[in-house]
Amino acid sequence: MTQLALVIDLNVCVGCHACVTSCKEWNTSGSAGPLCDENPYGSDPTGTFFNRVQTFEVGQYPNTETVHFPKSCLHCEDPPCVPVCPTGASYKRKQDGIVLVDYDKCIGCKYCSWACPYGAREIDEKQHVMKKCTLCVDRIYDLNLPEIDRKPSCVKACPTSARLFGDIHDPESSVSQAIREEGGYALMPEWGTHPANHYLPRRKTKLKIHEDELERADNPLKVDGLLPKPGKGEPSMEDVSAW
C-alpha cells in the first residue's frame, strides 16, 4: 500500500508563499479548468486555493517565535470527508492514498467541507463544485515530464526545501525517515483522522558545551596553580624524584 504525502518542515519554512502561488498557477492551468478568482485586482479579492501559508506567533514578547504554517489537504488515511459525500464525488484512491474530488460528480452541497476539521476544502464559487489539493496528481505521474519534475508543484517551488514528498508507508522513503528521525507529527490527532501529511517541528540548533570542555580538567597549568604550596620543611621535588 502506498500513501503519498507531504512532510512540511516548519523549522525551514520562511513563509514566502512560493508554494501558494506555484500551486495556484499549476492547478488553475489544468484540464479541470481554472481555480476561480473573484475581484483579483479589486478591493476585496477572493478565490479558491489548495494551499495557504498562515503565520502564528508563539510566546510572549520578547520571547516570541514566528511560525509560518503552510496548510493544505492532509490526505487523511481515515478521511472524514469521504464517507459523508452523498454522490461519491469525494474519494480516496486505493493505489496511492490521494483524496480527490470528481468535479463531474460533485453537486456542491458543501457537506464534505463541514466534515473536514482542517478546513482544507474550498468551494469554487464559479464552477460550484468543491475543490482541494490533489497532490498534483496530474503532474506526479506525467511521463512527459523529466523524473525530477514529477513532484507536486509546491514542493518544486519551495526555495528552502521545507516541503518533502513521498510515500509514508515505505519506511525507507525520505518522508518516512524525516517523520521518524525529525519528530514528525500529525495535526489535530484527537479526531483519529490519521493525516498522511506530517509536520516537522521547530528545532533549535544548540551547541552544547560543558564546563569541563571549556576548562580542561587535566590542564597542567591549572593543576599546578591549584596545588597547595608545600611547606618550607617538606621534601621538595628534588628530594623524592630520582631524575
Range 131-170, binding other proteins (CB under 8 A): none
Give the one residue of 25, 114, 142, 161 binding other proteins; rule: CB under 8 A. 114
Q: Does 78 bind other proteins (CB under 8 A)?
A: no
Q: What is the enclosing helix (H) or strand (E) of 63? A: strand 63-72
Q: For the chain, how big is the Rg over CA atoms in Å? A: 28
Q: Specify the stretch interacting with other proteins by CB under 8 A; choose among 52-60, 146-154, 158-166, 230-238.
A: 52-60
Q: Which is nearer to other proteins, 140 or 157 (CB)?
A: 157
In the bound state with other proteins, the residue whose beta carbon lies nearer, of 93 and 202, is 202
Beta bridge partners of 70: 53
Nearer Cβ to other proteins, position 116 or 157? 116
Q: Which stretch binds other proteins (CB under 8 A): 116-124, 157-165, 212-220, 222-230?
A: 116-124
Minimum CB distance to other proteins, residue 97 (Å): 18
In our burial notation (b when 16+ CB lie closer than 10 A, e otherwise), range 83-97 reads: eebeeebbbbeeebb
For other proteins, the binding residue among 33, 117, 138, 169 (CB under 8 A) is 117
Does residue 171 bind other proteins (CB under 8 A)? no
Q: Is 50 in the site for other proteins (CB under 8 A)?
A: no
* Nearest CB to other proteins, comparing residues 170 and 182: 182
Report the alpha-carbon angle 78-128-35, nearest 5: 80
| Environment class of 28 (CB within 10 Å of its CB; exposed 0-12, middle 13-18, buried 19+) | middle
Dump strand ranges (E) for 89-234: 90-92, 99-101, 122-124, 129-131, 163-167, 198-200
Is residue 3 a contact partner of residue 169, using CB atoms and an 8 Å limit? yes
Closest listed residue to residue 168, CA positions, set 187, 195, 188, 193: 195
For the bound state, the minimum distance from the C-beta of residue 206 to other proteins, rounded and expressed in Å, comes to: 18
**Least CB distance to other proteins at residue 10 (A):** 8
Nearer to other proteins, 123 or 154 (CB): 123
- The grid cell for 238 is 628534588
Stretch that binds other proteins, among 104-112, 136-144, 153-161, 229-237 (CB under 8 A): 104-112
DSSP 231: P
* List 29, 39, 160, 174, residue binding other proteins (CB under 8 A): 39
How far from 103 is each of 135, 165, 206, CA to CA, in Å? 16, 25, 49
Chain positions contacting other proteins, by CB under 8 A: 17, 20, 39, 44-49, 52-60, 66-67, 69, 71, 80, 82-89, 105-111, 113-119, 121-123, 125, 127-129, 185-191, 199, 201-202
